[in-house]
Structure 1
């Protein structure tokens, strides 16, 4: 495969800047040639705004388009297994949004099809290739704070505007039948994927997940403890109904010689504190955050590289979240 000609299923917000045409078309030997949405008007609008030559309202038509040789699934998780299976059975490599599916069992079913067909399956855990997290992993590997003892995660956000008030209309992410959970599943999946990339497999995780505020069906408060096979321990708290003034996105790595403070989502700063002093690194995010990962996918499909985020690695985040939420 020399030129990767993508067909994209779903035209939501994530595809306007993070991925979609803006990122795909900037990667050498990569082009978005077709899009699909359930409403043809939405697909046509996206295609026309992003200069995509074809658009559909039927997923089978897009997957079977002879000009399409790779599929990007940018939909909510409930349809990931169905669409990924169709694409892989058609012999077309798949790049699927995260979380990979609603639960680990669905992820395993997708991976089984990938193994049976021999068709590659990739997952959009793009932090594995973002410069910010590449720098963070380099600091960890260089033992900038010695041996890591524990990890502490705090992610506390206020409700989204559409989740409160008399006319509240929460979006799909907080309906477990669509997303698998709530904001925890959407965001903690990124965190656990990167932590396993940096520290190896988690062998144990347990938690408590509750809906405290009653704004929507999904859990809005989760606390957890987890242990890596290496012996590193971790704790985390995720709350999505705090006051805006208490909003925090901070994680800490506690080592034998110091501490690293960083943010998974909101800051470009990494703070390294040791007895020798404090060093701050500022590593801004690129304009299109999925572009670096897409570059590795295209390189692998062209036979010249390897993508670090596969279906096998992506399923692990779902497994850990299943353990924590006792699903």
Structure 2
């Protein structure tokens, strides 16, 4: 499939599309946002007017079937990703789907099969694969800056947020039937996908998930160990009811280490025999834009996107393996 220009439609124009993603489809070369959809028509209309989008819908099927829409960005919660991906694929539309890619690995496989059968590409919105800070880390690893890679460790924890402490205002992100799991699925998916990007696929996983604070039904702490296909070891803990915010990843090698955060703007730090070296990166205004550029380049025959349905599904598999004891 090769397009001269990609005309996008968005299904689910909620908060993530206001700044992080939506404007990117209008700013990338050879890309245009032509339609948006939200179940509440007035909200879809409001978004379209504020962002100067010519069409709005309150029916996803209508947007998918619109002949002016070449490709579909699915920005709903994960519970609807499979349905809209399959419908879009059957309509012959390339799909760019939010993360995590689906509720579970089995749904991801169905989505991949549907797109392969229809002959359309499927992309997962793990935008960190195209951000300069993570490209720098990949460059350091490829240039042997820390020697042979031995293991990676992750420590990410935070205090419980108000939207998970009040059962009357419970965010969808901690409702497993909508999100796939708890905040682990929403947040840890970014880190695990970045590690897949930097170190290659994970082949074996063992994890323990629990709910310690009791604010909601989903897991609120996960600890896991994993083995990458390359032989690199990994360990991580994610807790969402702790006393402060911590976000630290370390990739340790035979000759040094690289320290970085997944979500923060603190520097990437290389430590080796030469001492310490740091690199600072300011995130782009629209964090999806670098990845959307690669999607548009691939659809117009000018490049390749590093985040596909296949790579996105691998992350869903790891997430599922880490929490399966909790949901047995």
Q: Same fold (TM over 0.5)?
A: yes
Match of 1:324 among 316, 322, 328: 322
Partners of 2:78 and 2:124 in 1: CA distance: 12
Structure 1 residue 192: deviation in Å? Answer: 1.4
Aligned to 2:136: 135
Structure 1 residue 223: deviation in Å? Answer: 0.3
Name the SS of the counterpart of 1:25 in structure 2.
Answer: helix
Aligned to 1:5: 7
Aligned to 1:221: 221
Where does the alignment leave 5 or more consecutive residues of structure 2 unmatched? none
Partners of 1:302 and 1:268 in 2: CA distance: 35
Structure 1 residue 47: deviation in Å? Answer: 0.4
Contact 1:88 1:119 in 2 (8 A): yes
Partners of 1:61 and 1:264 in 2: CA distance: 37
Taking only aligned residues, the RMSD between alpha carbons, in angstroms, comes to: 1.1
Structure 1 residue 267: deviation in Å? Answer: 2.4
Greater shift after overlay, 280-289 or 33-42? 280-289
Contact 1:132 1:268 in 2 (8 A): no
Contact 2:20 2:287 in 1 (8 A): yes
Tell me, yes or no, if structure 1 residue 91 matches structure 2 residue 92: yes
Partners of 1:23 and 1:63 in 2: CA distance: 20
Contact 2:176 2:182 in 1 (8 A): yes
Contact 2:222 2:237 in 1 (8 A): yes
Partners of 1:164 and 1:97 in 2: CA distance: 25
Structure 1 residue 191: deviation in Å? Answer: 1.2
Aligned to 1:68: 69
Aligned to 1:53: 54
Partners of 1:258 and 1:302 in 2: CA distance: 41
- After superposition, the C-alpha distances for 1:212-249 in whole angstroms (9 at most, x for unaligned) are 11111110000000011111101000000011xx3100
Q: Count residues with an aligned counterpart.
A: 323
Aligned to 1:175: 175
Structure 1 residue 163: deviation in Å? Answer: 2.0
Aligned to 1:184: 184
Partners of 1:307 and 1:163 in 2: CA distance: 35
Name the SS of the counterpart of 1:312 in structure 2.
Answer: helix
Partners of 1:307 and 1:272 in 2: CA distance: 27
Name the SS of the counterpart of 1:318 in structure 2.
Answer: helix
Contact 1:268 1:284 in 2 (8 A): no
Contact 2:11 2:72 in 1 (8 A): yes
Structure 1 runs, 4 residues or longer, greater than 4 Å off: none
Greater shift after overlay, 37-46 or 189-198? 189-198
Where does the alignment leave 5 or more consecutive residues of structure 1 unmatched? none
Partners of 1:308 and 1:261 in 2: CA distance: 23
Name the SS of the counterpart of 2:207 in structure 1.
Answer: strand
Contact 1:176 1:218 in 2 (8 A): yes
Tell me, yes or no, if structure 1 residue 235 matches structure 2 residue 235: yes
Contact 1:33 1:52 in 2 (8 A): yes
- After superposition, the C-alpha distances for 1:88-126 in whole angstroms (9 at most, x for unaligned) are 100011100000000000000000101111111111011
Aligned to 1:145: 146
- After superposition, the C-alpha distances for 1:132-189 in whole angstroms (9 at most, x for unaligned) are 1001111111111111111010000111122225x75121010000000011111111
Partners of 1:163 and 1:104 in 2: CA distance: 25
Contact 2:265 2:283 in 1 (8 A): no
